Amino acid sequence: MLVKSKVKYIQSLSDKKQRDAEGVFIAEGPKVVEELLLSPNTPLVELFPTAEWMGKNAGMLTGTVQQSTHEVEPSELQRISSLSTPNQVLGIFKKPLWQRQPSPLKNWVVMLDGIQDPGNMGTIIRCADWFGIPLIITGEGAADPYGPKTVQSSMGSVARVQVGQAN
């Protein structure tokens, strides 16, 4: 059972300032969480799966993942989820720390201006990943690449595509 302070903490991560201060983001749903668990760029902080998800993914629950896992009831997942219909698992991950900036001279770069809708931002990140584009540069005021709706629509591609903001 989740304690009240843990529920409040998870709910506080829906705020960009809190996510930035903590250096983390939330991912929800089996596909997104499984993609992020497999990525070395997004270390797991905590995982909140239902028994159903744990049963299907027992092979992923080893080592540090197992130590950071807290099984929850579907009703508890409903309380901590930002989705209207939660889907089996919620994870808190560290934002990727990219080792180096991809060279725009050797790789394709997507530059975005005025993309404010998180769903559109996530879709663009997912498309860039599919085409092998390693870097997206956004203009000021763009949707947060680690907001819950952006992460959801990127389907885990936020772990493979570096998103930065132009100065």
Q: Which two tokens stand for residue 38?
A: 């497999």
CA distances, 112 to each of 91, 98, 139, 151 (Å): 28, 20, 6, 17
Residue 93's contacts (CB-CB under 8 Å, 6 or more residues apart) are 24, 25, 26, 27, 36, 42, 43, 44, 45
Q: Is 19 helix (H, G, I), strand (E, B) or coil?
A: helix
Q: What is the pLDDT of residue 107?
A: 74
Q: What is the pLDDT of residue 94?
A: 95
Cβ proximity of 141 and 113 under 8 Å: no
Task: Classify residue 3 by burial, with Cβ atoms within 10 Å: 0-12, 13-18, 19+.
Answer: exposed
Provide block-wise average pLDDT over 10 residues at a time, the chain (167 residues). Answer: 86 93 94 92 93 89 85 91 87 85 70 94 96 92 93 94 86
Q: Which two tokens stand for residue 32?
A: 């997104």
Say what the pTM is. 0.88
